[in-house]
Chains A and B, each alone.
Chain A
Amino acid sequence: QLQLQESGPGLVKPSETLSLTCTVSGGSIYSSGSYWDWIRQPPGKGLEWIGTISHSGNTNYNPSLKSQVTISVDTSKNQFSLTLSSVTAADTALYYCVSVRSNSSDWYFFDFWGQGALVTVSS
Chain B
Amino acid sequence: DVVMTQSPLSLPVTLGQPASISCRSSQSLVYSDGNTYLNWFQQRPGQSPRRLIYKVSKRDSGVPDRFSGSGSGTDFTLEISRVEAEDVGVYYCMQGTQWPYTFGQGTKLEIK
Contacts and interface: CB of A to CB of B under 8 A. Distances in A.
Interface stretch (A12-20, A21-29, A71-79, A105-113): A105-113
Main secondary structure, interface of A, reads strand
A49 interface: yes
B100 A47 contact: no
Interface string A62-105: 11100000000000000000000000000000001000100001
Contacts, number: 58
Interface in B69-112: 92, 94, 96, 99-106
Interface stretch (B11-19, B20-28, B34-42): B34-42
Contact of A62 (B37, B39, B60, B100): B100
Contacts of B100: 49, 60-64
B105 A113 contact: no
Contacts of B104: 46
A115 B62 CA distance: 19
Given A46-B92, A46-B106, A111 B48 contact: no
A110 B52 CA distance: 11
Given A47-B49, A64-B100, A110 B39 contact: yes
B101 A49 contact: yes
B67 interface: no
A107 to B, nearest CB: 6
Interface of A: 37, 46-49, 60-64, 96, 100, 105-111, 113-116
Interface of B: 1, 31, 33, 35, 37, 39, 41, 48-51, 54-55, 60, 92, 94, 96, 99-106
Given A107-B96, A109-B51, A114-B48, 9 more contacts: A37-B101, A46-B106, A47-B49, A47-B106, A49-B102, A107-B35, A108-B54, A109-B101, A110-B49
